[in-house]
Amino acid sequence: MQDAVATLLAVKTGLIIAWMACLFLAERLIPAVPRPALPRRRLISNAVLWGLNAVASVLVVVPVTVWACSRALPWRPAWWSGPAGLLLDLLILDGLIYGWHRLNHEVPLLWRFHSVHHLDRFLDTTTAVRFHLGEVLLSALARAGVVLLLAIPLASVLVYETLLLLATIFHHSNLRLPPRLERALSWFVVTPSIHWVHHHRVRRDTDSNYATVLSLWDPLFRTRSPTRRTPGLAIGVEGREDEALAGLIVAPFRPS
């Protein structure tokens, strides 16, 4: 079991790194929006946060997830298996991620951690891995609870987590897509033009467009913003500015 998990994690990690590297290069060759002058500390902060979360993933997130999958409630029916069962698991997990993301905006305690992601004043592939360690750990606990209750197999969780990371890196990227291609993709998956509005420095747009992989959730629950991405769309958190690494780490713990 441990060998199989280690192999799957190695494949997942290699795929994510390759995807990240390709889009990191592509968004600099064919950007959708001109890059403003950004402080060098931004990339350092994003990289360090990514590194901390990678360590936490190995030490905490993966063990907690494996534990939850091994102790899930034994009620899952036989028909909920195979390829059809996997697809159903992926749909359920994506819907739950939509709900969790929305809670991170609506619950003040969760927003304290999630706002670190939104404080970035520009959107590119590095924003996709810029999350506070506290948010990562809280998300792992929430996911473990879902896995326990719904008896979701570890294979389904790993497949979805891979899709989630691939999608997150894609829709945070500053990659310019042909308009027709982006419109076609947006019917099914979250594209950069959709998610950039979610990072608009206006709270009504920040609190919209919560979907992560499949784009159907926001129209379904009426949380899709009518705002369209433009080159001048201001990115960030309304009324706040980005901070250096130390400030980002302690930000959730400061008084309101």
Helix, strand, or coil here: 202? coil
Q: List the beta bridge partners of residue 189.
A: 214
**pLDDT at site 2:** 62
Q: Is 206 exposed, middle or buried (0-12, 13-18, 19+ CB in 10 A)?
A: buried
* 45 Rama class: left (phi>0) / alpha (psi -120 to 50) / beta: alpha
> Burial code of 38-56, b = ≥16 C-beta within 10 A, e = fewer?
eeeebeebbeebbeebeeb
For residue 218, give the nearest of 99, 104, 111 by alpha carbon. 99
Crossing angle, helix 154-172 and helix 62-70, to 10 degrees?
Answer: 140
**pLDDT at site 122:** 95
pLDDT higher than 90, residue 131: yes
Backbone angles phi, psi at 69, to 5 degrees: -65, -35
In the numeric block, which tokens belong to residue 195? 């998610």
pLDDT higher than 90, residue 253: yes
**pLDDT at site 5:** 67
Q: Which runs of E-coded beta strand occur in the chain? A: none
pLDDT band at 4 (very low <50, low <70, confident <90, very high): low
Please state the rounded mean pLDDT for residues 158-174: 96
- Domain span at residue 34 reads 2-253
Please state the rounded mean pLDDT for residues 235-249: 96
For residue 245, give the nearest of 26, 48, 1 by alpha carbon. 48
The Cα–Cα gap between 77 and 155 comes to 17
Each residue of 207-230: pLDDT tens digit? Answer: 999 999 999 999 999 999 999 999
Q: Count up the domains in the chain and report the number.
A: 1
The Cα–Cα gap between 165 and 158 comes to 11
The Cα–Cα gap between 124 and 173 comes to 4
* Percent of the chain at pLDDT exceeding 90: 86
